[in-house]
Amino acid sequence: MKKQFEVIVAGTGGFGSSCLYHLARRGVRVLGLDRFPTAHDRGSSHGATRIIRQAYFEHPDYVPLLLRAYGLWRELESVSGRKLMKICGLILAGPPSGEVVSGAKLAARLHGVSVEDVSARDFAGERAARFPGFRMPQGFAAVFEPAGGYLHVEDCVQTHIELALATGAEHRSDETIVSWESNGRTVRVRTESDEYEAAALILTPGAWASGLLQSLPEFPQLTVLRKTLHWHHVRSSVYDVSNGGTGFLFEMPGATIYGFPSLDGQTLKVAEHSGGETVSDPLHVDRTLKESDTQPIRHFLEEVMPDVDPACDHHAVCMYTMTPDGHFVVDRHSQHANVFYGAGFSGHGFKFTSVLGEALAELAIDGATKLPISFLSAGRFAL
């Protein structure tokens, strides 16, 4: 006998775990399915931290979603009693007319987000400087976003799942989805070990999205990229988050580099947002550290952060699932009215998991959402 639910969520990483939580808190009989254990390190939602920010240089239309996301993260902290989000500020730097600085200023101006212009003097090497430990490259401009910070990524996923289970959801890990089908009224999902039915299906499969959405005519071609996260020893306490250390994102020539303050007083995390090798099979990603991974990071640290050891202490590997335009796809399936999906989060999606989980839950239950997600529709690729 098939197991019956109101909604099935396929893939319970960052976005799927949030969907599960928002559905369960509304009293929906919901099942989450994932091929890996909760808060695993095989996809895109791991590595200790993810940046959260409001002056969104990628596109101003994201800002209203971010403002709601911040509120939902604080709400999740209140309900769970866990500290999930740390506001420590964020330095955004690059050429004055580059994407990062000009885009952040545009988003801030259109939506009233607070950003502060900072000068090269703020980055001087002296202890009296506002941002000791950083050097401003010649010709760069920079802004500081006080509301920037980071999320504890695995804790966020774990908390969404645990609260969903406590509110009545079911969750099955180590179950690989083989296929799904819909007749417009019910959806049937087959895994390697079982079969389930529901009134609606939400697909949030991360790097495996193409395999589960390949029949969708307007769905874009996705490219999965291998990305490395690096931890480096610090030689100074100026980077410590407890000592005023901030997050940072620099649009350097040839590479965009981002990172976090030191959480433990010993190391800090830094990574390249640009670049990345194409992954043909997400199940078999090369997780070794290569010279091509370390070179851009080393050059950045030597030029901008001289009190950080340029030799990598340890690393992790995750994946970006890229759309052709670098923006998300969140929509209803054009051929099956009871199937919804979120995919192609292009390496900047995790901060939105709280709010887009809410949006997808509303779509599955109410058929619509008041959240401003129309600019993320797959229809833009059909034009």
Q: Is 12 a catalytic residue?
A: no
Q: What is the structure's pLDDT at 3?
A: 84
12 domain-assigned: yes
Residue 14 scores a pLDDT above 70? yes
Q: Examine the domain organization and report whether 158 and 141 are in the same domain.
A: no
Q: Is 223 a catalytic residue?
A: no
192 domain-assigned: yes
The C-alpha atoms of residue 322 and residue 207 are separated, in whole angstroms, by 9
Could you tell me which residues come within 8 angstroms of residue 141 by beta carbon, excluding any fewer than 6 positions away?
Answer: 93, 94, 95, 96, 101, 117
At residue 214 the predicted structure's pLDDT band, cuts being 50, 70 and 90, is confident
Check 22, 35, 42, 46 and give the catalytic one. 46
The C-alpha atoms of residue 273 and residue 324 are separated, in whole angstroms, by 16
Q: What is the structure's pLDDT at 126?
A: 59
Q: What is the structure's pLDDT at 129?
A: 83
How far apart, in Å, do the first and last CA atoms of the chain sit?
Answer: 43
Residue 1 scores a pLDDT above 70? no
Q: Examine the domain organization and report whether 174 and 310 are in the same domain.
A: no
Q: Examine the domain organization and report whether 309 and 227 are in the same domain.
A: yes
- Domain harbouring 126, CATH code: 3.30.9.10
At residue 240 the predicted structure's pLDDT band, cuts being 50, 70 and 90, is very high
The dihedral through the CA atoms of 319, 286, 317, 176 has a sign that is: positive
188 domain-assigned: yes
From residue 255, alpha-carbon distances to 169, 212, 275, 311 in Å are 42, 32, 7, 18
- Half-sphere exposure (Cβ direction) of 215: Cα atoms closer than 13 Å: 10
- Any idea which of 122-126, 171-175, 193-197 has the lowest mean pLDDT? 122-126
Considering the chain, what is the average pLDDT of its residues?
Answer: 96
Q: Examine the domain organization and report whether 113 and 236 are in the same domain.
A: yes
Check 105, 226, 230, 269 and give the catalytic one. 269
73 domain-assigned: no
Q: Examine the domain organization and report whether 189 and 242 are in the same domain.
A: no
* Number of domains composing the chain: 2
Of the residues 281, 298, 322, which one is the last residue of a structural domain?
322
Q: Is 321 a catalytic residue?
A: no
At residue 18 the predicted structure's pLDDT band, cuts being 50, 70 and 90, is very high
Tens of pLDDT, residue by residue over 314-362, are 999 999 999 999 999 999 999 999 999 999 999 999 999 999 999 999 9
140 domain-assigned: yes
- Report the 10 Å Cβ neighbour count for 199: 17
Q: Examine the domain organization and report whether 186 and 300 are in the same domain.
A: no
- Give the max Cα distance, the chain: 71
Q: Is 2 a catalytic residue?
A: no
Check 22, 35, 42, 50 and give the catalytic one. 50
Q: Is 191 a catalytic residue?
A: no
367 domain-assigned: yes
Could you tell me which residues come within 8 angstroms of residue 168 by beta carbon, excluding any fewer than 6 positions away?
Answer: 24, 27, 29
77 domain-assigned: no
3-class DSSP string for 241-302 = HHHCCCEEEEEECCEEEEECCECCCCEEEEEECCCCEECCCCCCCCCCCCHHHHHHHHHHHH
61 domain-assigned: no
Check 19, 156, 312, 318 and give the catalytic one. 318
Q: Examine the domain organization and report whether 137 and 245 are in the same domain.
A: yes
Q: Examine the domain organization and report whether 134 and 262 are in the same domain.
A: yes
Check 105, 273, 332, 336 and give the catalytic one. 273
Q: Which amino acid is at 100?
A: V
78-104 core/surface letters (b: 16 or more CB in 10 A; e: else): eebebebbbebbbbbbbbeebebbbbb
Contact call for residues 263 and 241 (beta carbons, < 8 A): yes
Q: Examine the domain organization and report whether 130 and 261 are in the same domain.
A: yes
- Report the 10 Å Cβ neighbour count for 121: 11
Q: Examine the domain organization and report whether 136 and 247 are in the same domain.
A: yes
Contact call for residues 131 and 289 (beta carbons, < 8 A): no
Q: Examine the domain organization and report whether 329 and 234 are in the same domain.
A: no
User: Running DSSP on this structure, what letter comes out for residue 376?
Assistant: G
Q: Examine the domain organization and report whether 229 and 311 are in the same domain.
A: yes
Tens of pLDDT, residue by residue over 21-30, are 999 999 999 9
The C-alpha atoms of residue 58 and residue 63 are separated, in whole angstroms, by 10
Contact call for residues 181 and 198 (beta carbons, < 8 A): no
The C-alpha atoms of residue 219 and residue 235 are separated, in whole angstroms, by 48
At residue 215 the predicted structure's pLDDT band, cuts being 50, 70 and 90, is confident
Q: Is 267 a catalytic residue?
A: no
Compute the radius of gyration of the chain from its Cα atoms.
Answer: 21
Check 12, 38, 49, 228 and give the catalytic one. 49
- Domain harbouring 363, CATH code: 3.50.50.60
Tens of pLDDT, residue by residue over 105-154, are 999 999 999 999 999 889 876 556 899 999 999 999 999 999 999 999 99
Write out the residue range of the structural domain in which residue 249 sits: 90-146+223-322
3-state class (DSSP) for residue 30: strand
Q: What is the structure's pLDDT at 127?
A: 56
Where is 230: in which H helix or E strand?
strand 223-234
Of the residues 278, 302, 322, which one is the last residue of a structural domain?
322
3-state class (DSSP) for residue 320: strand
Check 35, 171, 333, 351 and give the catalytic one. 351
Of the residues 290, 322, 354, which one is the last residue of a structural domain?
322
Q: Is 88 a catalytic residue?
A: no
Question: In degrees, to the nearest 5, what angle opens at C-alpha 98 toward C-alphas 96 and 103?
Answer: 95
- Report the 10 Å Cβ neighbour count for 380: 17
Give me the residue label for tokens 């509303």. Answer: 362
